[in-house]
Structure 1
Amino acid sequence: MAEMARPLVIFDCDGVLVDSEPLSVSVLVEALNRKGVDISEDEAYARFLGRSLSTVSQILHDDFDHSIDDAFLDDLRHHLFARFRLELKPVPGVAQALDALEWPRCVASSSQPERIRLSLSLTGLLDRFEPHIFSASMVSHGKPAPDLFLHAAKAMGAEPSACIVVEDSPAGIEAAQRAGMTVFAFVGGSHAGAPGYRERVDSLAPDVVFDAMPDLIHLVRKHIEGSEGRLPQRAV
């Protein structure tokens, strides 16, 4: 009898582990507005949520005729990290869920490694993942391309079909699906009320949709044990 593939739980960071999206979007919109780019927070959520910096840069170039330079990035990083140090919080219940998780886990985020580690350090989560932290800067194409998730699975010695990805963004959900992985969409972040957000998530038909991080353990266990097979399920 063939041995069952070893499960791996892959976590996005922003909006899944740390409740950072409102801070990130606010700082980005303010920085763009200062540069004369007319964009609202609602539009920023729709266009940029879950995407890598290189993808955001390309969108700004193509659709807004604005190029990001090093000075802009330094200014953005300075203001964002200052807000993080003052305001960043973990997603409620995530530390307890991680402590109860029986299976290997890692982080695969569109953010830069410095930002990922700062976010996890400020919220007391870093030791629960280090050194298994993967960034879009490590692959050629960011989300919604599957590259980052496939890279993380390979580095962790896991088959894509055995991976469960916990994601909050449409771009991340699409990336996990394209990687052939099971997708648990977390919609409990404080950005979940952004206009059109739930509609974009639901349109992608993730395997599980849930809004309370303490539910993760029994949802993962249920999936691994195969009690519901591969059928989509909802906790909300």
Structure 2
Amino acid sequence: MSGAARSGPATGRLAGPAPALVVFDCDGVLVDSEPISLAVTLDMLAEAGLPMTPREGYDQLLGRSLTTIATWAEEEHGVTLTQDHLSAMRSRLIARFREELRPVPGVAEAVGALPWPVCVASSSQPDRIRLSLELAGLLPLFEPHIFSASMVSRGKPAPDLFLHAAAQMGAPAEACVVIEDSPAGIAAARAAGMRVIGFTGGAHAGPANLAEAVANSAPDAIISAMADLPACLGTGG
């Protein structure tokens, strides 16, 4: 989706009215999971016959559900990811999360400072989202308002997940603001008719060339630290 109709993304306060709902992606926004997830995914793809470099992985896979990745591997490369592959990946990922997963710095304070309803809308499976939030100490901030791509027919970059989250939360799409770190997620938010803030402060920002990738996706605003989120949304926190 082209950003030609919009001016360049702001780095300060998000333009427009206060949101009725703030929708957070999980991986790379709430929890610093992307380097772990990518390493496990690349191992699985290599075992299935599709080796990729980390940069290729970030360019092609960031923000996409495992189902979407499996479809992409089949359609674009003729590589089939079996249920054994997917089960092994989930097991490895959970084991590494339990050892290594941390929250994005400052995110609990930033979310706690927001006066509006919040929810999570992630490409991951529901049990993985909840585990990630629990391990990072963030689950009480969002439970039970957690939505997964498994609840809709199409994952990001389609708008389905964000529209589902807004409907479940009783918020008009145009009154929602999404916090996203991936081009696929930003495209999904824009396709849903929502404003979107690009976040470039995750641990994967450097290896993924995230600042450029997010800017090229034309979000409405960009922040590089979660501490800046309340002010970007128009509250002093």
What is the TM-score normalised by the length of structure 2? 0.89
Larger mean CA deviation between 200-209 and 146-155 belongs to 200-209
How far the C-alpha of 1:63 sits from its partner, in A, is 2.0
User: Percent identity of the aligned residues?
Assistant: 56
Name the structure 2 match of 1:189: 202
Q: CA deviation at 1:186?
A: 0.4
Instruction: Tell whether 2:110 aligns with 1:97.
Output: yes
Residue 196 of structure 1: how far off its partner (Å): 4.3
* SS at structure 1 position matched to 2:31: coil
5 Å-filtered alignment, 1:212-231, equals: 212-221=225-234
Deviation at 1:64, TM superposition (A): 2.2
Given candidates 23, 33, 42, the residue that maps to 1:20 is 33
Report the Cα distance in structure 2 between the residues aligned to 1:206 and 1:12, rounded to whole angstroms. 14
Q: Which runs of 5+ in 1 are unaligned?
A: 223-236
Structure 2 contact 25–122 (Cα < 8 Å) conserved: yes
Distance between the aligned counterparts of 1:127 and 1:71, measured in 2? 33
Matching residue of 1:111: 124
- State the partner residue of 1:175: 188
- Render the CA deviation track for 1:148-201: whole Å, top value 9, x for unaligned: 000100100001111010000000000000111110000000111125433221
Shift of 1:34: 2.4
- Which residue of 66, 73, 95 maps to 1:53? 66
Residues of 1 paired with 2:105 and 2:211: CA distance?
A: 20
Partner in structure 1 of residue 98 of structure 2: 85
Q: Answer yes or no: is the 8 Å Cα contact 2:200–2:210 preserved in 1.
A: no
- 3-state secondary structure, aligned to 1:108: strand
Deviation string for 1:26-76 (max 9, x for gaps)? 011112222332211111111110012221011110222111111111110
| Partners of 1:53 and 1:111 within 8 A in 2 | yes
Structure 2 stretches of 5 or more lacking a match?
1-16
CA distance in 2, matches of 1:5, 1:198: 25
Report the secondary structure of 1:164's partner residue: strand
The runs of at least 4 consecutive aligned structure 1 residues that moved more than 3 Å come to none
Which of 57, 77, 81 pairs up with 1:68?
A: 81
The residue aligned with 2:133 is 120
Which fold has the larger relative contact order, with Cα–Cα distance below 8 Å and residues 6 or more apart in sequence? 2
**CA pair 118-205 structure 1, distance change in 2 beyond 3 A:** same
What's the TM-score once normalised by structure 1's chain length? Answer: 0.89
Structure 2 CA distance for aligned equivalents of residues 151 and 6 of structure 1: 17
**Deviation at residue 6 of structure 1 after TM alignment:** 6.2
Give the root-mean-square deviation of aligned CA atoms: 1.6
Residue of structure 2 equivalent to 1:44? 57
Asked if 1:9 is matched to 2:22, the reply is yes
Rounded to whole Å, the distance in 1 between the matches of 2:26 and 2:137 is: 13
Matched length: 220
Alignment partner, residue 164 of structure 1: 177
